[in-house]
Amino acid sequence: MDHTACQGELDADVDKIIEAQNVSKWYGNFKALTDINLTVRKGERIVICGPSGSGKSTLIRCFNRLEAHQQGEIWVNGIRLHSKMRNVTEVRKNVGMVFQHFNLFPHMTVLMNCMAAPMWLRGMPKEEATDIAFKFLERVRIPEQADKYPAQLSGGQQQRVAIARSLCMEPAVMLFDEPTSALDPEMVAEVLETMTSLARDGMTMVCVTHEMGFARAVADRVIFMDRGHIVEEGNPHDFFTDPQHERTKVFLSQILRH
C-alpha cells in the first residue's frame, strides 16, 4: 500500500466508513449536488431514493472517485478524497461497486472476473484468488457457473457474479447503483435476496434503489434526494409512514402506487 498518498489525512474515527461534509458537485455549470452531509458507519445499511436526475448516482460515484466533487470533504475508510490524490486505486480497494448494467469483463470467465482484481490490484497469488473467487461465488449461490462467460448467463446471474466480484476485494463498504433496474422482473428477487443476505451478515451498504420493499426490510436509514439535495432522511418506519416534506410525500405516493 502506498501510505504516502494518505499521510496526515487519516480520520481517527474508525467507525465511520464514509463521511461527506458539505459536498457540492458541478457538471460544467450545472450543480448536481448541493451541500451533502452524510455519515455511514460500519455495518449500516443506507438506501438512497429519489426521482430520476436527483443526484443519487452522482453521490455514490463520488464515494469511489468515479466522479470528483468540487466543494466539501469526503472521507472513505479513513482516506480523504481530493483532487491531488495520487492513489485512487487505494480507495477503490476499499469500496465495492455494483452497477445497473453489471459491467462484467465480457471476454473473461465468471471465475476470472472474480479473480482479476485480487490478483492485479492486491498481487494475490492465483491459487488464493481462486479460493476467494469460489468462496464468494458460493456466497451468491452460483459456483457452478464459474467457467461460463457473462453472455451465457441470465441478467440476474450476471448481477450476482458482479456482487461476488466486488466481494472478492473484501471491501469496507459496498455501493449499489440501481442494481435491479436493468433486470427482467422475474430476476429482481434473486438479486434482492443476495443483497438482503449480505445486509444480514453485517455488510456496510449504500444502495441507490427504487425497491422500497427492500428499503423497508433492510435499511437502517432511508435518504430521499431531490435536485441535488438530501431533502429528508429517517428510519424506514418513520420515512414511509410519516414523511415530513411535501416532495417526499409526492415521491412516495408515486412510487408506492405501483
* Residue with Cβ nearer ligand ADP (31 or 141): 31
With CB under 6 A as the contact rule, the residue among 19, 20, 23, 56 that binds ligand ADP is 56
Binding mask 9-38 for ligand ADP (x = CB under 6 A): ------------------x--x-x------
The cell for 210 is 427504487
Say whether residue 52 binds ligand ADP (CB under 6 A).
yes
CA neighbor of 66 nearest in space, from 109, 25, 112: 25
> Sign of the C-alpha dihedral, residues 59, 110, 181, 169?
negative
With cell 405516493, the residue in question is 253
Q: Which stretch binds ligand ADP (CB under 6 A): 2-10, 52-60, 142-150, 229-237?
A: 52-60
With CB under 6 A as the contact rule, the residue among 10, 13, 22, 53 that binds ligand ADP is 53
Helix crossing, 126-139 with 110-122: angle to 10°?
A: 130
Minimum Å gap between C-beta 136 and ligand ADP is 27
H or E segment and range at residue 117: helix 110-122
H or E segment and range at residue 130: helix 126-139
Q: Which stretch binds ligand ADP (CB under 6 A): 55-63, 78-86, 114-122, 131-139?
A: 55-63
Q: How far apart are CA 213 and CA 180, in angstroms?
A: 13
H or E segment and range at residue 206: strand 205-208
| Single-letter amino acid code for the residue at 214 | F
* Residue with Cβ nearer ligand ADP (50 or 156): 50
Residues in 111-170 at the binding interface with ligand ADP, rule: CB under 6 A:
none
Chain residues binding ligand ADP by CB under 6 A are 27, 30, 32, 50, 52-58
